[in-house]
Amino acid sequence: MFPLQRGRRLRVNESIRSLVRETSLSPSDFMFPMFIAEGENVKVEIPSMPGIFRRSIDLTVEEVKELYDLGIRAVNIYVKVSENLKDNTGKEAWNSNGLMQQAIRAIKAACPEMIVMPDVALDPYSIYGHDGIITNGDVENDSTVDALVKMAVSHAEAGADFVAPSDMMDGRVLRLREGLDAAGFQNVGIMSYSAKYASAFYGPFRDALDSAPREADVVVPKDKKTYQMDYANRIEAIKEALSDVEEGADMVMVKPGIAYLDIVREIKNTVHVPVTVYQVSGEYAMIKAASERGWLDHDKIMMEQLMCIKRSGANLISTYFAKEAAIFLNK
């Protein structure tokens, strides 16, 4: 149809481009993952994640208030558990006065409108660094799910709005839904990590929580590939997401982010619940490292990646850039 149709007419200047832009970002599109440590007035930067800190509960609460003022409406929280509290049962995970439970109560008391989604998995509590209970050299599915139900109910009792199972055990969404309902928490939602791949992008996160698989005096899996997904697979991700929705998930997640946008779009086209995408620690660290060396423009690549994740079908983006991106957008 050229010259009647000229695509460049809609690109002449920023005003026109903004009028016809198909995808937009706002701070409410973001969820901020936060790492919580024991003690008071503790703020320790994670070396492999510049600008991201482990904070004690008092400083976490102050940060949450800042995030809310910027327009961010959700936080995904993780805890750094003391070594003496770790074992193979994960029992500290459902301690009503544990670090996670204290953090949930403190955040909800200080900022009731902030949506709190605590992580549900045993790896921060495991002496072996795995997401479940080790039996006969493997992560045993059903006993792990029993433990996760107790963990999730304790989070709900502390005031969590959603629980976020990241463990990838079979059948855990149904059991969590049944357990929450039986305990009277029908309105507590489940954001399931449905398509969580066995990815090399998680390294800095495991530094933050010391949750990588470890050498042990018993036989344990050397990695998490027996429960996290093979990154060569696409149809399996759709199957997992559909299964979680059928079991009662209110949201599903794809993890990691930018390298898996084909999966995000496939799942978005298949399910009828919100889709969350986790732009993970390795993706964050790569941008930080390249921009520190002057190889990339930090803010431009940050916003481009976030926009691409949203464009692919994400309703919510869990990202370590949440605060920086919100500040950028608010300018």
Q: Which residue has the higher pLDDT, 213 or 112?
A: 112
**Mean pLDDT to the nearest integer, 173-193:** 98
Domains, the chain, in order of start with CATH, read 24-252 (3.20.20.70)
In this predicted model, what pLDDT tens digit does every residue of 281-301 receive, in sequence order? Answer: 999 999 999 999 999 999 999
- Which of 80, 224, 255, 323 is flagged as catalytic? 255
The residue written with tokens 């049944």 in the block is 178
Let me know if 196 is a catalytic residue.
yes
Question: What does the pLDDT read at residue 272?
Answer: 97
**Distances, alpha carbon 248 to alpha carbons 10, 189, 254, 258, 273, in Å:** 43, 9, 17, 27, 10
pLDDT exceeds 80 at position 215: no
pLDDT class of 181 with cuts at 50, 70, 90:
very high
pLDDT exceeds 90 at position 245: yes
Question: What does the pLDDT read at residue 220?
Answer: 86
Which region among 98-102, 150-154, 222-226, 251-255 has the lowest average model confidence (pLDDT)? 222-226
321: tokens are 């850039």
pTM of the model: 0.95
In this predicted model, what pLDDT tens digit does every residue of 80-130 receive, in sequence order? Answer: 999 999 999 999 999 999 999 999 999 999 999 999 999 999 999 999 999
**Mean pLDDT to the nearest integer, 274-286:** 97
pLDDT class of 211 with cuts at 50, 70, 90:
low
- Three-state SS string over the chain comes to CCCCCCHHHHHCCHHHHHHHCCCCCCHHHEEEEEEEECCCCCEEECCCCCCCEEEEHHHHHHHHHHHHHHCCCEEEEEECCCHHHCECCCHHHHCCCCHHHHHHHHHHHHCCCCEEEEEECCHHHECCCCCCEEECCEEEHHHHHHHHHHHHHHHHHHCCCEEEECCCCCCHHHHHHHHHHHCCCCCCEEEEEEEEECCHHHHHHHHHHCCCCCCCCCCCCCCCCCCCECCCCCHHHHHHHHHHHHHCCCEEEEECCHHHHHHHHHHHHHCCCCEEEEECHHHHHHHHHHHHCCCCCHHHHHHHHHHHHHHHCCCEEEECCHHHHHHHHHC
- Which of 86, 108, 196, 323 is flagged as catalytic? 196
